[in-house]
Amino acid sequence: MVPHIVRMFVGGDYFRVLPLSALLGSIFLLWADIAARTIMPPEDMPIGIVTGLVGGIFFVWLLRKK
């Protein structure tokens, strides 16, 4: 999901896409982990649930956009 977003903003140049995707992907995972820990405070929710929900919504939006 993150490389698609980065490619929308910087174009198809891989010298820009690869480092920005790594940086923004790590920031996205950090915020998804924080969200997973705060949604259910006594227990830890698996981070895959949060990333799956956000990624699923993004890809449905991406498909409907085209």
pTM: 0.80
As a whole number, the mean pLDDT across the chain is 89
- What pLDDT shows up at residue 1? 86
Domain span at residue 30?
A: 2-65
Determine phi and psi for 8, rounding to 5 degrees.
-65, -35
Surface-to-core class of residue 63, CB atoms within 10 Å of its CB (0-12 exposed, 13-18 middle, 19+ buried): exposed
Distance CA 42, CA 52 (A): 22
Contact 47, 36 (CB under 8 A): yes
- What pLDDT shows up at residue 43? 82
Largest CA distance in the chain: 44
**How many domains in the chain?**
1
- What pLDDT shows up at residue 44? 80
- What pLDDT shows up at residue 45? 84
* pLDDT at residue 66 tops 80: no
